Amino acid sequence: MRSSIRLFFVLGCWGPACGAEGEDTGGGGYPDADADADGDYGGDSDIDADSDADADADIPPEVEVEADFRTPQAGRRYVYVADTSRDTVAVIDSRSLAIEIVEVGDAPFVLASIPGREAALVLYETMAQVGILETVNGETTISRLDVQPGANRIEVAPDGRHAVVLFDPARAVDPGASEGSYQDVTIIRVTDDPASIRLTVGFHPTDVLFADGGEQAFIVTEDGLHRIVLDEVSEPGVAPTLDIGPAPDDPSTREVVVAPGGEFALVRQPDLAAVSVVDVSARRRTEVALSSVPTDLDVSDDGSVAIAVLRDESTVAILPLPDVADDPESIRVIPIEGELFGQAVHAAGSSRLVLFTTAVPQESLVVLDLDSEDYYPVRLRKTVRTVGIAPGGLTAIVIHDKLPGDPRTAADLDERIDREYGYSLVDLDSLFVRLQTTPTNPEPFFLWEDGSHAFLALRDDFAGVRAVEAVDLGAFQVNTVHLPSPPFALGGVADTNQAFVAQEHKSGRITFIDIDSLATQTVTGFELGAEVME
Amino acid sequence: MSSRTFIGRLGRLGQIGKLGKLGKLGKLGKLGKLGKLGALATIPTAVLLAGCPDDAPQFEEPFETIGPVAFGGRVAFVDQRRAEVHLITPELGSGPIDHDIVEIGRDPQVVATDLDAGRLLVLTHGSAGAPGVTEEEEAIWAIEPNGEATRYEVRSPFTAIGVHPDGDRLFLYFDQTVLSRSELVYNPHEVATVDLSEPPSGSNPALKTVRSFELVPTRAIFSPPLQIAGETIDFVAVLASDFVTLVDLDHPDRREVSIPLTLDPALEAVQPLEVVFSQPNPAIDPVVYVSAQGSTDVFAFTLREIEEVSEGGHFFSVAPNLYAVGAMPTDLQPATLATGEALLVATGTATLWVIDTTTSEATPISLEAPVRDIVPVRASDGTISQAILFAAGGNVVHFVQLEGLEDSVLREVDAVALAAPVGGVSPLPDGTTAAVFHADANRSVSILRLADHSVSALTATAPLDRTVFSADGARAFVASSFDARLSVIDVATRHPEDLRLDEVPTGLVLVPGPEILVVTHEAEAGLVTFVDATQPSRSTARMLEGFLLEGLLDRNGEIR
C-alpha cells in the first residue's frame, strides 16, 4: 500500500471543496473491540495475536487513510495559485515576492505543477482544455490543449514530461454539472512540442501510477490495468488492458501496486489468500498463494521485493521480484509473534518496514528489518490512523486518531492524550518516539525533498486555530508558526529553501517560511494587483 | 490694554444712505462701551436723520467672515458677503495699523494657506449672474502678504483645496461631505491642478476627470517627492470609497492609477481613511500605506519599478500587500528600527502592531489600554525617537521608545494614567514636552515631560477651547470662550498667569515675526486683541475694532 499524506499543493481551490481531500476517513471512529488501549513496550501487544480463529474473525478490515506523504513537485522558485472566480493564476516569485497575475481562461480550478520546471498545468470548470503556464524570466505565458470534457484531475509524471488528465467522480464539486467521461483519459505531452492525445481506457479509472521514472503510466480501472508508454502515444486509441484478475464486487477494495521499473504489477483482492503478479511485458498473470488473506500490499522502492501483510497470522510475506512470477513458491514469510498489524510502509532506501494496524485501537507499531528479519515493537501514546516515511527512510511520521471527548475533562493523562489530536515522530534507527499533540487534525503534511523537515497545517476555524507546525526531522524539534488566516494549501520552493502556505483571504494570502530560520514573509492581496487600472 | 483703535473708517458719509438699517451696525453700540467709540457711534445716527435711499442692500447684510488666518506676518479675514479679504498686520503700541483690503471673486467658500503660511488661498464660486450682476466663473485666488492677488479661473465649484508641500501646486477637488450648490449641474469627479509658480493660462489651471467609478473623492493627499525609475514624481492620492487613485502631478499626460481596496465593491464598502507615503531610501521602491474603514488590514502598495512603460505611461507597477492587524487600523506611522523599515499601527485595541515591511511579519505589542492615535516625537535631527499613543476619551497615555522596539527584552513601553480623559496630544517644538488636551468638562491641559513621563495637570476653571503654543514651545496660550481671560503658561515651569481681556475670546492665532498673538472676539464688524507673545502683558496689548467697516462707504459696501 502506498501510505502517504496528500500534499495540498496549488490545487487552485478557493472554495470549501478544496483542502479536504483524502482526510477523515478514519478519524475518531472505532470499531467495537475490547482492546486494551495501553500497550507495553517490548513485545506485548494490546491484542493477543495468537488468539483463535474466532477472535481473529472479529477484527474488522483495515481502514486505509488515503494520505499522501509525497514530496511536492513544485516549481523551484515560483508558486502558482489559481483564482477560479477571477479566471486568473497568481504567479508568485518566492525570491522577490513579486506577483504576476495571469489571465488564464474561464474558471481555472485544478492546478498541478510540473516537476523540474517553472511551469504548471491548469484545468477549467467550463472549458475542455488544459492550460500550460510557463514562467521564464519572470514572465508567464500560457498555451492551451484540448482534453476530454469534465476532466477534473491531473497526474503529472515525475519527470515532468507528461501528464494524465482524467475525470474522477470523487472530486466532482458541482453535483449539478454534467459529469465527465468514465472511460477517457488525455495524455498531455508537456515538453517537445506539447500535444494532447485522448485514449480510451476501462470503466472508471481510479488511479494513475507512474513507473520507470515517469516513462510509463498505469491506469487502474474497474476493468483492469492499462499500461501506457507515454513517449509512444501519438494518436487516439484504446489503451490495451492487462488482465489483473476478476473485478471484485467493490472495486475499491482491490489494491494494485506497480514495481518502480514498471516490469510488474501486483494485485491484492479482498477475501483472496493470494497475490496476483502480472508480468507487464509478457502480459502474464501468476497467482501466488498465501496462507491467509493479505490486508496490505506494497513494493520496495528498488523493485526487488513485494510485501504482503498477512494480518491474521501476524506474518509478512516477501515476494521476490522477478523470481516469484516464475516460481510462486519462492516467497519468504516472516512471522512476528505477539504483534497485530495489518498495514505496511516501506522505508525507501533501507530494508526497514513499518507495520501497524488501524483496525483496532492499538498504540504501537512494529519496525521490521527485512534483511535480518529482526523486528522491534515500538510503543506509542495514541492509536494510529496512518503512517508515512520521510524521504531518506530515517523517520516515520505517525498520524494519530483522536478519541471523542474534550481533553480537558479527561480522567487522567492517558485519556487526555487519547482525546487530543496529534502525531508522532519515530526515529527508525534508535526507535525514539516523540509525541506531538495538536489543537486540530494535523493534516495536510508536507515533507521536504531531502527528508530534513516536515510542515503541517493546523486549522480550526471555530476555535481560531491557524498555524503551521515546522518539524525538524533531524532534531525532532517542533516550532509553531502562527498565520494571519486559515491555511488551505502547503508546499515548498526548493530554490529559495522556503515552504509556503496558501491561506484563505478574499484578496489572496500566502506566507513563505524559511525552513531553517523559520523567518516568514507574507504577501496578501495579490489578487488586487489584477484589478489595478491605468 | 495699552490702546484701542477703531479702524472702521466708513468713508464719505454721504453715501451711507440706508445706514439706518445699519441698525445692525447699531450693535456697534457695544463698541461704545469701549469708550472712544462713543463719538463715532453718533455719526450713523446723524446720517439716518438725513434720510436713506431704498436701494443699498449692501449695507443690510451682516458681516460673515472666514478667519482669522495667519500668513506672511499678517492675519486675514475673508468677508464672504462682500467678497473681499481684510489683511491686517498685527501691531502693538498705538501707531497706525497696516490694513489692506483685497477684492476677490464672489462667494468665497474655502480658505487655506500653503504649508509655510506664506500665501493665502481663497476659492470663490463666482456667480451665475443676475440682473445687475455680471457672471463670474469660479476661481482660486493666491494672495501675497502685500495684498497682491492672482486669480486662476477654475470654472468648477470645487469644495476642497489640497496644497502641495512645495507651496506652489494645488489640487482642487470636490469633498464628498460638502454639497456644492453653485451650479445647476457639476461633475463631482472633476479635479484641477494649479501651478502658482506659473501665471494663469489656458492650461493653468488644468481640469481633468478622475476615473472614479461613480464614487466621489473624500480627500486628496500629497506625496513627498518619490524616486521611481530615475524620475522624481509627486503624486496626489485621491481617496474615494473602495479606491485610491494616484495622480502624477509632474506628468499630466500620464493616466491616473486606480488601486482597488476590495475585489467585491458590490458586497463591501472599504473607505480609505489615511494614506502614508514611504520611501526611506531613494534606491528602494516607494510604498503607499492605506488604512480603511471596513478592513482589518493595512494596505501596502509598492510602486515597483518596471523597465517598459505601462499602458498608462508609467514606469512602475503596483504590487499590493496587506498586513493583517486583527482590527480596523486607526493610525499609521512609518518608523525605522534597527531591523529595518517598519510600520506602527494602532487599531483601537490594547495592541500596537509593529509590521516589518520587508517580511510582512506583524508583531503585536500588548499595551495597558486601547490606543487609536500614534503621535511621533522627533529628535532634533528630525528622526522619530519615540511615539506617544493614546485613545481619545481614554485616560492612559503610552510612551514607546523606537530604539529596541523589535526586541521583546529591550523594548521600552511605558504607560501613564491621567486624571482626566485625553482629547489630544501634541508634542511641543522643544522636543522635551508634550501637551495633553483633555476631554473633560473643562477641557483642561496637562504638560508631559518626555524624559521621565511625568505629568503636570493644570486645572481649568472654565472650559478651554483654544490653545496656541509659541513657536519655540516655551509658552502656551489657552483661552475659554466662557471667560474673558487668556492663560499664559510657562511650559518649563508649568506656571500659568492670567491676562485679562476686554471681551471673551472666540479665536486664537499666532502671527510670527515678531510673534504676536491675535485674539478674536465676537463683534459685528471685527474685534481683535493683539498680545505680545514673547512677553505677554495686558499693558502692552492692543485692541482693534470695527476693521471690517474700513472704507466700506468708499467701496459702496458692494455685495458682490
Q: What residues in A contact B304, CB-CB < 8 Å?
A: 98
Residue B230 class from Cβ within 10 Å (0-12 exposed, 13-18 middle, 19+ buried)? exposed
| Strand positions, DSSP E, A182-222 | 184-189, 195-200, 207-211, 216-221
Task: State pLDDT tens for residues B207-227.
Answer: 888 776 566 778 888 998 999
Of A184, A209, A212, A183, nearest to A196 by C-alpha is A184
| Assigned C-alpha cell, A466 | 491557524
- Tell whether B251 and B340 lie within a shared domain: no
Does residue B340 register a pLDDT over 50? yes
- Those residues whose C-beta lies under 8 Å from the C-beta of residue B299, and which sit 6 or more positions away, are A525, B244, B261, B288, B289, B290, B291, B292, B320, B321, B322
- DSSP states along B169-224: EEEEE--TTS---SSSS--TTEEEEEETTS--BTTBSEEEEPP-TT----EEEEPP
- Those residues whose C-beta lies under 8 Å from the C-beta of residue A205, and which sit 6 or more positions away, are A166, A167, A168, A182, A183, A185, A219, A220, A221
* Contact (CB, 8 A) for A108 and A90: no
Instruction: Name the residue in chain A with its Cα closest to that of B264.
Output: A506
Q: Is B178 on the interface with A (CB under 8 A)?
A: no
Q: pLDDT at position A66, please?
A: 55
Chain B nearest CA to A529, separation (Å): 6
Q: pLDDT at position B441, please?
A: 79
Mutation target to probe the A interface, by most A beta carbons within 10 A, among B322, B325, B361 is B322
Q: Which amino acid is at B272?
A: P
Instruction: Name the residue in chain A with its Cα closest to that of B255.
Output: A534
Chain A nearest CA to B241, separation (Å): 15
* Contact (CB, 8 A) for B359 and A521: yes
Chain A nearest CA to B515, separation (Å): 48
Instruction: Name the residue in chain A with its Cα closest to that of B243.
Output: A532
Chain A nearest CA to B264, separation (Å): 9
| Residue B291 placed within a domain | yes
- Tell whether B366 and B307 lie within a shared domain: no
Per-residue 3-state assignment (H helix, E strand, C coil) for B353-420: EEEECCCCCEEEEECCCCCCEEEEEECCCCCEEEEEEECCCCCEEEEEECCCCCCCCCCCEEEEECCC
The SS3 call for residue B41 is helix
Q: Is B262 on the interface with A (CB under 8 A)?
A: yes
Asked if B321's CB is within 8 angstroms of A507's CB, the reply is no
Asked if B321's CB is within 8 angstroms of A525's CB, the reply is yes
Asked if A505's CB is within 8 angstroms of B320's CB, the reply is no
Number of CB pairs, chain A paired with chain B, less than 8 A apart: 82
Q: Is B361 on the interface with A (CB under 8 A)?
A: yes
Mean pLDDT for B452-474 is: 86
| Assigned C-alpha cell, A52 | 483463535
pLDDT confidence of B21, banded at 50, 70, 90?
very low
Asked if A524's CB is within 8 angstroms of B260's CB, the reply is no
Q: State the distance between the two ends of chain B, measured CA to CA, in whole angstroms.
A: 37
Q: pLDDT at position B486, please?
A: 93
Q: pLDDT at position A520, please?
A: 87
Residue A445 class from Cβ within 10 Å (0-12 exposed, 13-18 middle, 19+ buried)? buried
Q: pLDDT at position B38, please?
A: 25
The DSSP secondary-structure symbol of B83 reads T
With the C-alpha atoms ordered B375, B379, B380, B381, is the resulting torsion angle positive or negative?
negative
Distance CA A311, CA A293 (A): 8
A93: β partners: A78
Q: Find the CB nearest A527 among B255, B263, B323.
A: B263
Asked if B318's CB is within 8 angstroms of A523's CB, the reply is no
Task: State pLDDT tens for residues B94-127.
Answer: 888 899 999 999 999 989 988 778 899 999 998 8
| Residue B180 placed within a domain | no
Distance CA A403, CA A410 (A): 11
- Tell whether B312 and B230 lie within a shared domain: yes
Asked if A519's CB is within 8 angstroms of B264's CB, the reply is no
Please identify, among B388, B410, B432, the residue that sits at the C-terminal boundary of a domain. Answer: B410
Distance CA B299, CA B320 (A): 7
Asked if A99's CB is within 8 angstroms of B319's CB, the reply is yes
- Those residues whose C-beta lies under 8 Å from the C-beta of residue A329, and which sit 6 or more positions away, are none
Q: pLDDT at position A108, please?
A: 83
Q: Find the CB nearest B314 among A484, A507, A534.
A: A534
Mutation target to probe the A interface, by most A beta carbons within 10 A, among B235, B268, B359, B363 is B359
Q: Find the CB nearest B359 among A520, A528, A529.
A: A520
- Within B481-552, residue ranges assigned H as helices are none
Residue B62 class from Cβ within 10 Å (0-12 exposed, 13-18 middle, 19+ buried)? exposed
- Tell whether B218 and B315 lie within a shared domain: yes
pLDDT confidence of B31, banded at 50, 70, 90?
very low
Q: Is A466 on the interface with B (CB under 8 A)?
A: no
The SS3 call for residue B46 is helix
- Tell whether B283 and B340 lie within a shared domain: no
Asked if A521's CB is within 8 angstroms of B320's CB, the reply is no
The structural domain count of chain B equals 2
Asked if A509's CB is within 8 angstroms of B304's CB, the reply is no
B226: β partners: B233
Of B485, B501, B516, B503, nearest to B98 by C-alpha is B516
Q: What residues in A contact B262, CB-CB < 8 Å?
A: 506-507
Q: Which domain holds residue B277?
A: 214-324
| Residue B378 placed within a domain | yes
Task: Label the pairing between strands B3-6 and B542-545.
Answer: parallel
Q: Find the CB nearest B360 among A506, A523, A534.
A: A523
Q: Is A95 on the interface with B (CB under 8 A)?
A: no
Distance CA B388, CA B59 (A): 52
- Tell whether B309 and B365 lie within a shared domain: no
Distance CA A355, CA B303 (A): 56
* Contact (CB, 8 A) for B329 and B322: no
Q: Find the CB nearest B260 among A505, A522, A528.
A: A528
Asked if A86's CB is within 8 angstroms of B324's CB, the reply is no
- Tell whether B320 and B219 lie within a shared domain: yes
Of A534, A2, A513, A29, nearest to A268 by C-alpha is A2
How many C-beta neighbours within 10 Å does residue A508 have? 28
User: To which H or E segment does residue A229 belong?
Assistant: strand A224-229
Q: What residues in A contact B253, CB-CB < 8 Å?
A: none
Asked if A533's CB is within 8 angstroms of B324's CB, the reply is no
Q: pLDDT at position A173, please?
A: 61
Of A452, A386, A394, nearest to A71 by C-alpha is A452
| Residue B367 placed within a domain | yes
Instruction: Name the residue in chain B with its Cα closest to that of A511.
Output: B360
- Tell whether B334 and B312 lie within a shared domain: no
Q: Is A507 on the interface with B (CB under 8 A)?
A: yes
Please identify, among B324, B345, B361, the residue that sits at the C-terminal boundary of a domain. Answer: B324
Instruction: Name the residue in chain A with its Cα closest to that of B326.
Output: A484
| Residue B281 placed within a domain | yes
Q: Is B302 on the interface with A (CB under 8 A)?
A: no
| Residue B552 placed within a domain | no
Please identify, among B389, B410, B431, the residue that sits at the C-terminal boundary of a domain. Answer: B410
- Tell whether B313 and B268 lie within a shared domain: yes
Helix, strand, coil fractions of chain A, as percent rounded to 5:
10, 40, 50
Q: pLDDT at position B265, please?
A: 78
pLDDT confidence of B140, banded at 50, 70, 90?
very high
The length of chain A is: 534
- Tell whether B314 and B267 lie within a shared domain: yes
Q: Is B319 on the interface with A (CB under 8 A)?
A: yes
Q: Is A529 on the interface with B (CB under 8 A)?
A: yes
- Tell whether B306 and B391 lie within a shared domain: no
| Residue B434 placed within a domain | no
* Contact (CB, 8 A) for B421 and B408: no
Chain A nearest CA to B171, separation (Å): 20
Distance of alpha carbon B261 from the chain centroid: 27
Task: State pLDDT tens for residues B503-523.
Answer: 999 999 999 878 999 999 998
Q: Is B216 on the interface with A (CB under 8 A)?
A: no
Task: State pLDDT tens for residues B281-313.
Answer: 899 899 999 999 989 889 999 998 888 888 889
Chain B nearest CA to A199, separation (Å): 41
Q: What is the pLDDT along chain A (534 residues), one digit of tens a residue?
A: 332 222 222 322 222 222 223 222 222 222 222 323 332 222 333 323 333 344 445 778 787 765 444 333 357 889 888 877 778 888 888 887 778 888 888 888 888 989 888 999 999 888 899 999 999 988 899 999 999 998 999 999 999 999 999 998 877 766 555 577 899 999 999 987 899 999 999 998 989 999 999 999 999 998 889 999 999 999 999 998 998 988 888 888 899 999 999 999 999 998 899 999 999 999 999 999 999 999 999 999 899 999 999 999 999 999 999 999 999 999 999 999 999 999 999 998 889 999 999 999 999 999 999 999 999 999 999 999 999 999 999 999 999 999 999 999 999 999 999 999 999 999 999 999 999 999 999 877 788 989 999 999 899 999 889 999 999 999 999 999 988 888 888 888 888 899 999 888 877 888 999 999 998 888 888 778 878 888
- Tell whether B282 and B310 lie within a shared domain: yes
| Assigned C-alpha cell, B445 | 491641559
C-alpha dihedral over B356, B362, B364, B365, to 10 degrees? 0
| Residue B303 placed within a domain | yes
The SS3 call for residue B32 is helix
Q: Is B362 on the interface with A (CB under 8 A)?
A: yes
Q: Find the CB nearest B318 among A505, A524, A529.
A: A529
Q: Find the CB nearest B324 among A484, A532, A533.
A: A484
Asked if A533's CB is within 8 angstroms of B297's CB, the reply is no
Asked if A524's CB is within 8 angstroms of B322's CB, the reply is yes
Of A522, A500, A426, nearest to A78 by C-alpha is A500
C-alpha dihedral over B358, B361, B366, B367, to 10 degrees? 30
- Those residues whose C-beta lies under 8 Å from the C-beta of residue B442, and which sit 6 or more positions away, are B459, B460, B461, B462, B463, B464
| Strand positions, DSSP E, A47-113 | 78-83, 88-93, 99-103, 108-113
Q: Find the CB nearest B257 among A521, A523, A532.
A: A532
How many C-beta neighbours within 10 Å does residue B485 have? 17
* Contact (CB, 8 A) for B351 and B364: yes
